[in-house]
Amino acid sequence: MSLTVHHDPDLDCVTLQMGERFDFTVHRAFHDACLGGRAARSYVIDLGEVSSMDSSALGMLLLLREHAGADRAEIRIVNADTSLRGTLRVAGFDKLFVLH
């Protein structure tokens, strides 16, 4: 399990650097970083190190989107490899999140 959290207080932006696996094993850390208190102004989910992601990761992203204000949420998913980007597109997440 690996998840690094950085909060930029000036921008009120939370960046989550996900480790090799984005799955249920990071649920508690993800919840504590993003869902435990008030929503930040924006979020960046960095998938650069992720080699596997399961349906619970998709669920966590949806919970974050809801917590952050749904359609008003400013959430960017960055550095996803081709396979992960394909999974996100098939799930329709390219319509819910900004994918870079």
The answer to whether residue 51 scores a pLDDT higher than 90 is: yes
Name 60's Cβ contacts closer than 8 Å, sequence gap at least 6.
26, 27, 30, 31
Residue tagged 């349906």 (tokens): 55
Side-chain-side CA neighbours of 2 within 13 Å: the count stands at 12
Predicted structure pTM score: 0.93
The answer to whether residue 64 scores a pLDDT higher than 80 is: yes
The answer to whether residue 15 scores a pLDDT higher than 90 is: yes
**How far apart are alpha carbons 36 and 84 in whole angstroms?**
26
98 Cα distance to chain centroid: 11
Residue tagged 């319509």 (tokens): 95
What pLDDT, on the 0 to 100 scale, is given for residue 69? 93
What pLDDT, on the 0 to 100 scale, is given for residue 36? 83
Whether residue 90 contacts residue 57, with contact meaning beta carbons closer than 8 Å, is answered with: no
25 Cα distance to chain centroid: 14
The answer to whether residue 56 scores a pLDDT higher than 70 is: yes
The answer to whether residue 1 scores a pLDDT higher than 80 is: no
**How far apart are alpha carbons 59 and 75 in whole angstroms?**
15
Task: State the average pLDDT over residues 63-92.
Answer: 95
Task: State the average pLDDT over residues 38-50.
Answer: 95
**How far apart are alpha carbons 77 and 30 in whole angstroms?**
15
